[in-house]
Amino acid sequence: MKKKSSAKPGTESCIQTDVDMSLGDGQPCPACLGILQHHLDRPFLAKIKEYVTEAEYEFKSFLCSLTVPVCVLIRERAILVHLRDKFKSVYESVTESDIARVKDVWKWTAGPLLGDSLGVAFDQKSNFDIAITFNYPRTFKECEMFLDYQPEVFKRRKFKRGQGELFNRANVGKALKDMSDQKLRRSFQVPPTIPKVACECETICCTREPLYIAGRYNKYNRLLSQTPWFVDGVRKSESSVEEKICDHLKKYFKHSDSKFSASGREDVDVLMLGTGRPFVVELLDPHKVTFSKTEVSNIQKEINAASSYVQVRDLQIVTKEATSNLKEGEMEKTKTYSALCWSAAVMPPEKLKEISAMKNVVLQQKTPIRVLHRRPLATRERTVYTMSAERIDDEHFKLNLETQAGTYIKEFVHGDFGRTTPNMNTLTGMECDILQLDVLSVLLDWPKPIEDS
């Protein structure tokens, strides 16, 4: 076996391979197509170890997953039918589920041997996977019988590579389950013919389950979006909160990609103050996963030193299960805001006092005009729990609010052409607008605070 190409940096570690097609002393096995003959020896296992080592993953255990040609399912069934014919008293009650699959036999044999070679445990519950894919050139030809047997499932159509597989384990397995032994004998050779060529090892891939890192961020710039902002393919902001955090994580965790999620989002022109907004980053296929609290703290310090616009606190590695806290109780949590507002006339002191006394004001908010292009039209009920209004000058006042999450604050102030009711125009009896908005707090007790963060 020789290496064709190595994985590109920053992608999952896959290695394309091909095999020497000479069959050696014997022909390929009609059941395993040579998988158990040619891919359980020490040279092949040594190649796997070499590929895993070159991929530079950090792991304490591993599992193996095999993808074998789907026609192996047919051959396994054909051999069972042949055994039923020859040894009826022994195999009459035996089903496919009673027979060890080729890929399972390979894993039972190769797993412990690889574990000894790699110096770690072979564990089928591991989060690090060595995936091996085998290819057999006559797979499609051997599965063609299903086009006539179940044309409603295996429709005759033009099939293009890269658009998925016409024959897969799910539909072939179901078809075989529904097919009688007699029908199989008429459609397929029983016992199966000895193949002229053996299976090829097509790819070896190393992948790891995602790692999750959470924290809270503050945003101190009114030109910075939370995530990369593109309109019709044109970038609208130079950077984003996501990039200013994730770009630093990349060089430490060496993941292939990442997904950034936060507990809500502020508009580009809105600051995120106070203790910050909770967020979590899903790191896909990370190569390095073991970090001490001190090391994570140092990554946080590096993020904070790189930009005064984005600051992070409480950075920590969390479990997948813990990330559900970010979305659970989405509508129950509260947020506090400070808004700089304008009024068309001087706001009387008694009106400011009246506004400040209001509690639990229930709003009916139609989807704002400014977000109709990306959110469905709906009317949402939201509650403003408390308000306080403070005069700044004859035309300006500051409005502090505690609201239900998901409340559109800008629209509550200017009314959005009557799409939010009540609003500050109807509550004060004069035209109002919002000039500046800050988020003061997101009242979600997650992730846990870290001292000296």
Query: Could you count the other beta carbons within 10 Å of the beta carbon of residue 241?
Result: 27
**At a CB cut-off of 8 Å and minimum separation 6, what does 182 contact?**
none
C-alpha torsion sign, points 54, 56, 61, 65: negative
Asked whether residue 233 is domain-assigned, the answer is yes
Residue 164: the pLDDT is 56
Percent of the chain with pLDDT over 70: 92
Query: For the range 410-416, what are the long-range contacts, defined as Cβ-Cβ under 8 Å and sequence gap of 24 or more?
Result: 410/267, 410/368, 410/434, 410/437, 411/365, 411/368, 412/363, 412/365, 412/384, 413/339, 413/341, 416/365, 416/366, 416/368, 416/369
Query: Could you count the other beta carbons within 10 Å of the beta carbon of residue 393?
Result: 7
Residue 148: the pLDDT is 85
Based on the domain organization, do 105 and 126 belong to the same domain?
A: yes
Where is the domain boundary, 146, 178, 208? 208
Based on the domain organization, do 168 and 239 belong to the same domain?
A: no
Based on the domain organization, do 149 and 44 belong to the same domain?
A: yes
Based on the domain organization, do 117 and 216 belong to the same domain?
A: no
Tokens of 229: 């902002």
Based on the domain organization, do 8 and 121 belong to the same domain?
A: yes
Based on the domain organization, do 186 and 262 belong to the same domain?
A: no
Asked whether residue 101 is domain-assigned, the answer is yes
- In this structure, are residues 307 and 244 in contact, taking their beta carbons and an 8 Å threshold? yes
Asked whether residue 370 is domain-assigned, the answer is yes
Based on the domain organization, do 290 and 384 belong to the same domain?
A: no
Asked whether residue 96 is domain-assigned, the answer is yes
Based on the domain organization, do 370 and 226 belong to the same domain?
A: no
Q: Tokens 């060890």 correspond to what residue?
A: 100
Q: Tokens 């967020």 correspond to what residue?
A: 279
Residue 301: the pLDDT is 98
Tokens of 113: 């041997």
Tokens of 93: 């009650």
Dist. CA 235–CA 334, nearest whole Å: 32
Where is the domain boundary, 326, 345, 370? 326
Where helices occur in 99-240 by DSSP H, the ranges are 102-118, 139-143, 145-149, 169-178, 181-187
Based on the domain organization, do 321 and 407 belong to the same domain?
A: no
- In this structure, are residues 226 and 280 in contact, taking their beta carbons and an 8 Å threshold? no
Into how many domains does the chain fold? 3
| Nearest C-alpha neighbor of 254 from the set 63, 50, 57, 60 | 57
Give 190's Cβ-side CA count (13 Å radius). 20
Residues tagged active-site:
267
C-alpha torsion sign, points 252, 255, 258, 260: negative
Residue 19: the pLDDT is 35
Where is the domain boundary, 263, 294, 326? 326
**Length, in residues, of the chain:** 453
CATH code, domain with 225? 3.30.70.2510
Asked whether residue 450 is domain-assigned, the answer is no
Range of the structural domain that residue 226 is part of: 211-326
Residue 237: the pLDDT is 85
Based on the domain organization, do 215 and 81 belong to the same domain?
A: no
Taking 50 as the pLDDT cut, the residues of the chain under it are 1-13, 15-24, 161-163
Dist. CA 389–CA 340, nearest whole Å: 10
CATH code, domain with 368? 3.30.70.3190
- In this structure, are residues 145 and 84 in contact, taking their beta carbons and an 8 Å threshold? no
Based on the domain organization, do 120 and 57 belong to the same domain?
A: yes
Asked whether residue 140 is domain-assigned, the answer is yes
| Nearest C-alpha neighbor of 356 from the set 434, 438, 424 | 424
Query: Cα angle at 273 between 272 and 278, to 5 degrees?
Result: 65
Residue type, 386: T
Asked whether residue 44 is domain-assigned, the answer is yes
SS3 36: helix
C-alpha torsion sign, points 272, 280, 268, 381: negative
Asked whether residue 348 is domain-assigned, the answer is yes
**Terminal-residue alpha carbon distance, the chain:** 52
Dist. CA 247–CA 281, nearest whole Å: 11
Based on the domain organization, do 105 and 215 belong to the same domain?
A: no
Helix (H) or strand (E) holding 244: helix 241-253
Residue 451: the pLDDT is 83
Residue 1: the pLDDT is 37
Give 384's Cβ-side CA count (13 Å radius). 28
Torsion of CA 352, 356, 360, 362, to 10 degrees: 20
Instruction: Return left, alpha or beta for 170; rule: phi > 0 is left, psi -120 to 50 is alpha, else beta.
Output: alpha
Tokens of 109: 């044999």
